[in-house]
Structure 1
Amino acid sequence: MSSTTSHFSLVLETPPASPQEAQRHFLDKLSVETDAADVLLDLQRGQNSILLIDARSTQDFEECHIPGAISLPYRKITAESTIQLAKELPLVIYCWSPGCNAATKAAARLSALGFRVKEMLGGLEYWRREGGPVEGTLGEQAPLIK
């Protein structure tokens, strides 16, 4: 790191939000996101107030997925393909990893159809890093990411 002192801050070029604005932002963010550790703990504690949706391809789901999750590839999400899902139950959507945006796309499509959704940050990769169980034809032998 350089010892040159600068009076200009890249961090503060855009001033920080007020505490109230920051609180609202972070609460808004938490209303649409969760993480693998919280989902795992809820499931271990017997919570049945959420439904897990795997937004990856059917083949990827068959090879490795979270037990109890439903396969709903994001490209196939329509009013018809979701008719069996209860709109009262919040959906937690996941895909491969932080580098995958299938869960984001699925959450956008599902929310447009009237579902309450949260994206599971880190996806299946971080679920497995947290020690979460998986099942499927490859199970634990499946790659962490594709």
Structure 2
Amino acid sequence: MTTAVTAVAPAVSDRALKHFETAFEFETDCWDVHDALSGGKQDFVLLDVRSHALYEQGHVPGAVSLPHGKIVEGMMKDYPANTVFVVYCAGPHCNGAHRGAIRLARLGRPVKLMIGGVTGWLDEGFTLETGRK
């Protein structure tokens, strides 16, 4: 019997290992971001790439509001070239974080996605801040 799950066989273990290990180069999760922020070990800039209005309604504490469409070289001048950026948007249903990551990568900036976005943050039981910094 074959289902839609097994109709395409899983990758062989060495390919699966490479795929899943490589994923960590591109993404992090809400728990790891929270741990870094709450432990005072933040070695990245957290960017909320949604609109300023959505940011003001609720954002991850410590995040900077920079909508993905505004990520241009001039906005990056205050950050050293090796600054690691972690981007997030509303959640899995939103591609804004991917758009922001593309813009940062095109500018030669190190970037990771915080998978789950605001939805994931709330699902983990973490709280949001409101207002603008």
Q: TM-score, normalised by structure 2?
A: 0.88
One-letter code aligned to 1:32:
F
Whether the 8 Å CA contact 2:89–2:96 is kept in 1: the answer is yes
Residue 113 (structure 1) aligns with = 107
Whether the 8 Å CA contact 2:105–2:111 is kept in 1: the answer is yes
* Higher Rg of the two aligned structures: 1
Once the two structures are TM-superposed, the CA of residue 85 in structure 1 deviates from its matched residue by: 2.3
Distance in 2, Cα, partners of 1:16 & 1:130: 29
One-letter code aligned to 1:100:
C
Whether the 8 Å CA contact 2:89–2:118 is kept in 1: the answer is yes
2:121 is aligned with 1:134: no
Once the two structures are TM-superposed, the CA of residue 67 in structure 1 deviates from its matched residue by: 1.9
Residue 3 (structure 1) aligns with = none
1:109-142 CA deviation, whole Å, 9 max, x = no partner? 101111111111110122123232322239xxxx
Q: What percent of counterpart residues are identical?
A: 36
2:42 is aligned with 1:53: no
Once the two structures are TM-superposed, the CA of residue 89 in structure 1 deviates from its matched residue by: 2.3
Alignment partner for residue 30 of structure 2, among 32, 36, 40? 36
Bigger helix share: 2
2:75 is aligned with 1:81: yes
2:15 is aligned with 1:10: no
Name whichever of 43-52 and 78-87 sits farther off.
78-87
The alignment partner of 1:81 has SS state of helix
Once the two structures are TM-superposed, the CA of residue 27 in structure 1 deviates from its matched residue by: 1.2
Instruction: Give RMSD over aligned pairs.
Output: 1.8
The alignment partner of 1:21 has SS state of helix
Q: TM-score, normalised by structure 1?
A: 0.81
